[in-house]
Amino acid sequence: MPKSATVRVLLFSASLRADSLNTSLARLARTVLEAANATVDWATMNDFDGPSYNQDVETGPGFPPGPRELHRRLEACDAFVIATPEYNASMPGHLKNTIDWVSRIRPQPFNARHGLLLSASPSMAGGNRGLWSLRIPLEHLGARVFPDMFSLAQAHKAFDEHGALADGQLAARFGENLRAFLDLVEAAKHYPCIKKAWVEFLGEPGSTVGRVEAA
């Protein structure tokens, strides 16, 4: 069996504010992933943020630095983990905007890449609805989004002074969730997997309309 050390994971929090609960959760994920021998590329949303998607910019000045950076670092990893807040019962617009940009750069880096989604929120639902809406563009782009997602409810009360989860049972599940994800990434990595040619199926047979449509 290959060692987990070979698995390389891009990890970031999608919140832009300094004192973010999702950044706290991402930090904790880093500890767990590294303890499981994964190599973590730690990033922040500031690294990837960009202006609003505009096809005229894409075909003129070109891709902005933030989305290009996300593209580059995704391509260098086997998998990605995102901890993200929920805004208005859905994913944050700015995170989706960066994904919209990145989806236009080739090779399209979400395709066949494994992803894990986390959220933290002071609410009782833990930001879980945001994760469900985020699955859609990622899976549409071919990402293999792990079914088990971790949504930390009442996150403002959940961390102890060392940044770990105070509740032992929750802490155990968090670890299991991350390690189950790593196992799948590793399994898929060491297999001669057909890299799917990623194309849109909708529309007329034979058409290959891009997924950010010129509309």
Q: Which of residues 26-85 bind its own copies (CB under 8 A)?
A: 45, 49, 51-56, 85
Cβ 52 to its own copies, closest distance in Å? 3
User: What gap in Å lies between CA 124 and CA 205, rounded to an integer?
Assistant: 45
Cβ 100 to its own copies, closest distance in Å? 5
Distance from chain centroid for Cα 39: 16
Show contacts with its own copies in window 97-126 (CB under 8 A).
Answer: 97-100, 103, 112, 119-126
Cβ 32 to its own copies, closest distance in Å? 13
153 vs 164 by CB, closer to its own copies:
153
Return the DSSP state at 62. -
Cβ 77 to its own copies, closest distance in Å? 17
73 vs 127 by CB, closer to its own copies:
127
C-alpha triplet 214, 112, 61: angle, nearest 5°: 35
Give the burial class of 153: count Cβ atoms within 10 A of its Cβ; 0-12 exposed, 13-18 middle, 19 or more buried. middle
69 vs 186 by CB, closer to its own copies:
186
Assess 194 for contact with its own copies (CB under 8 A): yes
All residues at 6 or more sequence positions from 208 whose CB lies less than 8 Å from its CB, including other chains:
199, 200
User: What gap in Å lies between CA 28 and CA 159, rounded to an integer?
Assistant: 10
Show contacts with its own copies in window 144-163 (CB under 8 A).
Answer: 144-151, 153-155, 158
SS3 for 152? strand
The correct pick among 74, 105, 127, 159 for binding its own copies (CB under 8 A) is 127
Q: What values do phi and psi take at 214, rounded to 5? A: -75, 80
The correct pick among 132, 159, 160, 161 for binding its own copies (CB under 8 A) is 132
Cβ 73 to its own copies, closest distance in Å? 18
